[in-house]
Amino acid sequence: MTLPPAGATAPPPDRGAQLERTRLAWGRTTLAFAVTTALAMRGFLIGSDGAGGADGVTSSAGAVLRALAVALLPLALLAFAAVARVRIRELSGPVPKRTAPPRAVLGRAALCVLALAALGGGVLLW
């Protein structure tokens, strides 16, 4: 690493770096959410024995619940991605005056994760 010439001032701090890191963190988290959603949907559609859903359930109620879970899982992902998208946009451009998001935004994101856990757990319960 070369030293700056004597008398040179330090380069200005990259004020955008923290914003970019946070944007990337939201992207990483959305990706993790998508992968988990895909795994949950696989569980409902293919299941552990290839027959789909939970091991030999043939009742129509079970089929309805399974269809419902498959329909709701992408919605949870979309909801999370929507929160992430808004937040990423807020963090783009120059340093905003108020950088902390309102608590409700993060609460919504966490709720999406809870919904995912509940839907993913649904496959276990019948």
Partner 1 sequence: MIDRLTDTLRLWFAPRRLREEGRMPDYRFSLANERTFLAWIRTALALVAGGIAVDQFLTGMSRAPRTTIAVVLLAGGALCAVRAVNHWARCERAMRRGEDLPVSRFPALLGLATALAALLVVAGVLLGRAGS
Q: Say if residues 116 and 73 touch (Cβ distance below 8 Å).
A: yes
What's the closest the beta carbon of residue 94 comes to partner 1, in angstroms? 11
Q: Which one-letter amino acid corresponds to residue 89?
A: R
Q: What share of the chain is helix, strand, coil (3-state, %, to 5)?
A: 65, 0, 35
CA distances from 26 to 9, 11, 31 (A): 34, 28, 9
**Span of 3-11, 62-70, 102-110 interacting with partner 1 by CB under 8 A:** 102-110
x-or-dash pattern for partner 1, window 40-69, by CB under 8 A?
Answer: x-xx---xxx-----x--------------
Residue (5 or 102) nearer to partner 1, CB: 102
The pair of structure tokens assigned to 90 is 């807020």
Residue (55 or 71) nearer to partner 1, CB: 55
- Count the Cβ atoms, other than its own, within 10 Å of residue 23: 18
Q: Which residues bind partner 1 (CB under 8 A)?
A: 18-19, 21-22, 25-26, 28-29, 32-33, 35-36, 39-40, 42-43, 47-49, 55, 91, 95-96, 98-103, 106-107, 109-110, 113-114, 116-118, 120-121, 123-124
